[in-house]
Amino acid sequence: MGAFDTVSLRDLLAKATPRPWKACSANDGHCSCGLLWSVPADVVLLATYVPRDDEISVPIVNDNTQLIAAAVNALPGLLDEMESDKAGADQWHDKCLLARQERDQLRAQIQELEIAFRVG
Ligand SMILES: [Zn+2]
C-alpha cells in the first residue's frame, strides 16, 4: 500500500514509549532545552541539539522537538485516514468494474437485438 509500509509504522508506534509526546513547555512554552517527553510515562525520550561553529552542541528552541512530537502524535490518525481512504477507493474501483461489465452485457444484448430486427 502506497510508498510506505503502514503495518511497520503501526508496529513501531505500538513498541514506542506511550503517546502523547510533547516538547518541554517550561517558561510558558519558550524553553529552549529541546527535551521531548512522553506524557503518560513522564520520561524524557530525547533532546534535540544543533552543533555550533565552535563544535559545542547547544540546545535549540523547541521547533524540532515540537515537530517530532506533533508528527508522532498525529501518525495514528493519519494512518487511520489513509487506510479508510484506501478502503473507499477499493470499493469504488469494484463498483466501476461491475458497472463496466453491465455496460458490456447491455451492449452485447443491443447488438443481438439489432441483428435480430435488422435495425441500424
Ligand atoms: Zn525545557
CA 56 / ligand 1 centre spacing (Å): 19
Q: What is the pLDDT of residue 64?
A: 82
Question: Omega into 20 within 30° of 0, i.e. cis?
Answer: yes
Closest CA to 23 of 14, 33, 15, 13: 33
What distance in Å separates the CA atoms of residue 30 and residue 28, rounded to the nearest whole number?
Answer: 6
Residue 51: beta bridge partners? 57
Q: 65 near 21, Cβ under 8 Å? A: no
Q: Near ion ligand 1, which residues have CB within 5 Å?
A: 24, 26, 31, 33
CA 107 / ligand 1 centre spacing (Å): 71
Q: What is the pLDDT of residue 1?
A: 46
Task: Give me the half-sphere count of Cα atoms (radius 13 Å) on the Cβ side of residue 63.
Answer: 3
Q: 106 near 114, Cβ under 8 Å? A: no
Q: 101 near 50, Cβ under 8 Å? A: no
CA 25 / ligand 1 centre spacing (Å): 6
Give 85-113 pLDDT, tens digit per residue: 989 999 999 999 999 999 999 999 999 99
- Segments of the chain with pLDDT less than 50: 1
Q: What is the pLDDT of residue 79?
A: 95
CA 47 / ligand 1 centre spacing (Å): 10
CA 120 / ligand 1 centre spacing (Å): 82
Residue 4: beta bridge partners? none
What are the residues whose beta carbons fall under 8 Å from the beta carbon of 70, sequence distance 6 or more?
none
